[in-house]
Chains A and B, each alone.
Chain A
Amino acid sequence: MRLYLLCLLMSVFSVAAHAAIVQQEMRPGIPANAEYLIGQRSKPAVLLLHGFLQTREFPTVATLARGLQDAGYTVLLPTLSLNIPNRMQSLACEAVHKHSMEDDVAEIGRWVGWLKAHGHRSIVLVGHSFGSLQLLAYLSTHPDPAIKAYIGASLVEAQIGTASRQALIAQLEAQIQNQQRILVTQRLSFCRKYTSTPEGLLSYVRWDQPRLLTALKQAPTSVQLIMGDADGMLGQGWLKALQHIQVPLVIVHGGSHFMDGEHEFDLLDHTLKFLEAHQQGSSR
């Protein structure tokens, strides 16, 4: 009934209401919001996820979302709460990070569920940077027939710098084991002092390149990676590794990690191209 009413409203206000902020309570006291960009019903809905500690306002995803909407795709652009009520700002590395990969995956699941609840049977997950990792983690743990494809732009593993990932994992596990309610500071992704609970940090640190490559290989849906060959964030040999496992990969020449500048259009073009191809493949 509610879906019916929603569709009715959307049909009535399709022209006027092309975007809306939607909100869901992810955990008690932790609401999260997303921007819902309404496109054509005939095209798959895109769940576009921002990078590490960013919000949906981050330029790479915001621009891409507008482009996709302009191309007729409905886009749901959530901001992960990272266990902050109604988070609206990029979260600082030094902030108290009480979120984990599991929390992120759960929220992605909630938004996928929200799309499905809102009548989207064909969903394409598009992520940027760490968001691509989080979406891949979701895919690996929550295979869903409604999710028709996965596009990972500037996909990168949970980088921890030069530290030994095994040792770190062991340390974190020990701390968890000892129930130490402390905050640990660790280099993670672009954060030099990422301050987090051991559990949260550990959930991200486990996603190293091998696990990522494995998840790609085992992805339950079609995959498309769009990577820039000028991405400074990528570990050495990461592109080769991706090519090595023969995952569909588009290299944007000169594209940086954030696909900024003229490469915004490359990202959009490659995304649309994949979506169109995927849509045509599905319709056949």
Chain B
Amino acid sequence: MKWPDAISIKQIALAFITGLLVLMSLIGGFAAYQTREVTRSLEQHNQNAAASELTSAVQRLLRQTDDQAANLADWDETRQQLVLPEYYSYWRDQRVYESGMLPSHFVRVALYTPSGSLLAPSPAKNSLPARLPADVPLHRLSSWLADEAGATVLYHAFPVYIDERHQTLLGYGMIRIDFMPALLQQEALHFADKASIKLTLKPGENLPATKLLSRLAFKAQPDPDRLRFQSILSRTLLALFVLLMAMALLGFVVYNRLLVRPLRRLSQDIDAMQHGRFSPHSSRSQAMRISELENVRRSLYDYQLQLRELHGSLEHQNREFHSQARQDALTGCHNRRAYEEDWEKFRIELKNAPQGVAFLLFDCDRFKTINDTYGHAKGDRVLSIIADALVMALRANDRLYRLGGDEFATFLSRTTPAQAKQIAQRCQSLLDASVFSDLGINEPVGISIGIAFCAADQLEHINDLPKQADIAMYTAKQPGRTRIALYGEDTERASQTLVASRETSALFQALASPGMIEMHYQSIHALPGRKVDYYEALARIRYHNDLIMPDAFLPVVSSRRLEAGFDLAVLNQVDADLSSQQLPPGIGISINLSAQSISHPEVVSQLLELSRHNARHPLMLEITETSLITQMAEVRTYLDLLRTVNYRIAMDDFGTGYSPLRYLVDLPVDVVKFDISLVNKLGQDNRASQVVADFARMMSDAGYSLVAEGVETDTILRKVESLGIAHVQGYLLSRPMPLAKVAASFDDQNADVNCTA
């Protein structure tokens, strides 16, 4: 059986009242049943009493008749009539009654001769048999009943003797009694219903008086006390029931008014509150009669009012929060949340109104450096000035969004690539006109702008715009660019390498999953002789059986500021490779590190841990020169520390980055690796080649060990050898190889040595 989830208080009241009525009905029914039992018992008692009294009455009547007969038999005058019947009729009709021998004229008497013949004829109306019945024992008192013309008659015959000893029969007497009147005259009949007393005899039947009682039919007189008792009890029960019904009805009404209605009102109010329809000024606010309910109502209303106030306050705050949530607190322009919502909404609107859309991505050049150099406060001011300039440059309805850090974006509707580029140029112009000198920043502050465009008929590619703009923006950041790049025109190749989602995913997975970064080793040869001196460890990412090259993921590392994490992963993998001891002892390893990682404690800690391999494999750290080192002193401290554990420090990609000479002066550099762009200059027969050559000689003279990178031709190799550069590296001599292949090459060399030997 499943109970309902909830029942109302009204149902409870109805159930209670119904139960009460049922209970009272059961009690009433039980009382009525008991009453009926008592009544039945009383009726039975009454019936028994009626039978008893009727028996007594009959017996009394018969006894009276016996007495009358005996008196008559012993009466002198009876004997006189049997001897001298001259005045018999006087005696029979008058004298017996006047003398009191017979009580009334219901009783008749006649005398018979000893032979049984009637002494004298009886009057017609009270006729007695002319002869005594032959079957009646006349020697003693005999009684019987007979039916005469529908009336029951009791006959009583008796002998009359002349002497006391009853030796001489003088004759007979016979009393005739109208049985029913005589019986009903009995004053003792209180219980028997006189009208119901019936004695039915067959015609001609003589019923002996001894069998009279068995043939007597009767009913008990209704007991007035019992009937009164029944009546009173019935009235009482009815009145009780009516009273109970009235009380139940009244109770229900009172209960309904005092409890159910207020509770229902409260329930409805609560429902209204839940649905926001509650009105504190409605008619429901009237007071309730039950103090507890009134307290609940007051509390509810007070609570609701407070809730409304709180709700209003919350709404206001919510609006504030919504606004704040969509606004960048620093710059006042829209934030990334607003960007996402507006971009989603805009894309939906485009489905109904196709148009050309341009997505512009702005990124402040070297903002990290500015921020680190001049402090966050000034960095924030720079961002505000940039935002102000961009807002001013955008069209009236265009919105500027700060996506994070120094990255801003906007999307332009109803535009063309040319218009987008024009707006981008206006942005740069306004920013160039901005004054940063007030902030103490004398360096130029510029922005790179990536533009992606989607024509009205190519809106199915609308979702690619942010990525395309991102690609274009990084393209714009490449050295030598105009800092404005339009995707498709300027970034066809870059789009394949920069922030493609596949490479980005591979990078993040590699950082999260050890083993995905695979180190390849490219030999560095000592000059002259071109003997392999050590290997440069170059990172690759193994992703779905494909090998992702550094030029595909390093820009992502840089753009996402993942240098430290990436370098830690590289160090771990190098540690694993060296620990495998596949490389022969004495073979050094050069590891690339970004300048930002050097100042990272975890990286330093890992390098110290890795230094245990120095005894077997001399280790070198290559600091990329293209990265801007803003905390020079700190980096130097760490490098000094690392040198104490026998690390050698190399300046990588020398000739391509920032402040190369400053780095050489301030940092403890042991080795300088000339970038391929410089090395390639050596192959030319011009002044540039001479400058590079002279610079190389100068560096060598200064004590730096030089490494020529990217040597791919014999011409350059010979030129490098002629310049006295200590080491050379490039595809001409070897390509980067996996560790197993490097180890195998050593095995082959050992085999060759053995064979030669």
Contacts and interface: CB of A to CB of B under 8 A. Distances in A.
Interface in B80-125: 80-84, 86-87, 90-91, 95, 98-99
A98 B98 contact: no
Interface residues of B, number: 20
A83 B84 contact: yes
A183 B163 contact: no
A263 to B, nearest CB: 30
A86 interface: yes
A29 interface: yes
A21 to B, nearest CB: 9
Contacts of B695: none
A243 B82 CA distance: 46
B164 interface: yes
Interface stretch (A89-97, A127-135, A244-252): A89-97
B95 A96 contact: yes
A277 interface: no
A66 interface: no
Given A181-B86, A183-B87, A83 B76 contact: no
Nearest to A90: B76
B90 A98 contact: no
A47 interface: no
Interface string A57-85: 00000000000000000000000000111
A168 interface: no
B76 A87 contact: yes
Contacts of A86: 79, 162-164
B159 to A, nearest CB: 14
Contacts of B84: 29, 83, 96, 98
Contact of B80 (A31, A96, A181, A183): A96
Nearest to B161: A86
Contacts of A95: 76-77, 80, 95, 99
Given A92-B99, A95-B95, A95-B99, A84 B87 contact: no
Contacts of A183: 87, 90
B75 interface: yes
A85 B95 CA distance: 18
B499 interface: no
Interface in B42-101: 75-77, 79-84, 86-87, 90-91, 95, 98-99
B80 A98 contact: yes
Given A94-B98, A96-B95, A84 B86 contact: no
Contacts of B170: 85
- Residue in B76, B84, B91 with the greatest tally of chain A CB atoms within 10 Å: B76
Majority secondary structure of chain B interface residues (helix, strand, loop or mixed): helix
A86 B78 CA distance: 11
B90 A83 contact: no
B79 A84 contact: yes
Contact of A94 (B81, B82, B99): B99
Given A83-B84, A96-B90, A91 B162 contact: no
A92 B80 CA distance: 13
- Residue in A31, A84, A88 with the greatest tally of chain B CB atoms within 10 Å: A84
B80 to A, nearest CB: 4
- Residue in A29, A84, A92, A96 with the greatest tally of chain B CB atoms within 10 Å: A96
B87 A98 contact: yes
Contact of A89 (B75, B86, B90): B75
A183 B95 CA distance: 12
A85 B99 contact: no
Interface string B405-430: 00000000000000000000000000
B87 A96 contact: yes
Contacts of A83: 80, 83-84
A241 interface: no
Given A31-B162, A92-B99, A94-B98, A85 B79 contact: yes
Contact of B76 (A31, A89, A98): A89
- Residue in B84, B90, B95 with the greatest tally of chain A CB atoms within 10 Å: B84
A183 B98 CA distance: 15
A29 B76 CA distance: 13
Contacts of B98: 94
Contacts of A7: none
Nearest to A83: B84
Contacts of B91: 96
B86 A85 contact: no
- Residue in B83, B91, B98 with the greatest tally of chain A CB atoms within 10 Å: B83
A84 B91 CA distance: 13
A30 interface: yes
A85 B164 contact: no
A103 to B, nearest CB: 12
Contacts of A181: 86
Contacts of A30: 83
A171 to B, nearest CB: 19
Interface string A177-207: 0000101000000000000000000000000
Contacts of A96: 77, 80-81, 84, 87, 90-91, 95
A88 B86 CA distance: 21
A28 B183 CA distance: 42
Contacts of B76: 84-85, 87-89, 91, 95
A88 B76 CA distance: 7
A88 B75 CA distance: 9
B95 A94 contact: yes
Contacts of B82: 85
Nearest to B170: A85
A30 B76 CA distance: 11
Contacts of B162: 31, 85-86
B75 A85 contact: no
Nearest to A193: B98
A30 to B, nearest CB: 6
A146 B82 CA distance: 37
A84 B82 CA distance: 10
Given A94-B98, A95-B99, A85 B87 contact: no
Nearest to A182: B87
Nearest to B87: A96
A87 B86 CA distance: 18
A157 B99 CA distance: 27
Contacts of B90: 96, 183
B77 A85 contact: no
Interface in B534-580: none
Contact of B164 (A84, A88, A98): A88
B77 A84 contact: yes
- Residue in A91, A95, A181, A183 with the greatest tally of chain B CB atoms within 10 Å: A95
A85 B99 CA distance: 19
A83 B83 CA distance: 9
A91 B77 CA distance: 8
B95 to A, nearest CB: 7
A150 to B, nearest CB: 29
Contacts of A31: 162-163
Contacts of B77: 84, 91-92, 95-96
A98 B99 contact: no
Nearest to A88: B76
Contacts of A29: 83-84
29 contacts: A30-B83, A31-B163, A83-B80, A83-B83, A83-B84, A84-B76, A84-B77, A84-B83, A85-B76, A85-B82, A85-B83, A86-B164, A87-B76, A88-B76, A88-B164, A89-B76, A91-B76, A91-B77, A92-B77, A94-B95, A95-B76, A95-B80, A95-B95, A95-B99, A96-B84, A96-B90, A98-B80, A98-B87, A181-B86
Interface of A: 29-31, 83-89, 91-92, 94-96, 98, 181, 183
Closest 9 CB pairs of A and B: A29-B83, A84-B80, A96-B87, A85-B79, A84-B76, A87-B76, A89-B76, A85-B162, A95-B77
Interface of B: 75-77, 79-84, 86-87, 90-91, 95, 98-99, 162-164, 170
Given A29-B84, A83-B84, 10 more contacts: A83-B80, A84-B77, A84-B83, A92-B99, A95-B99, A96-B91, A98-B80, A98-B84, A98-B86, A183-B90
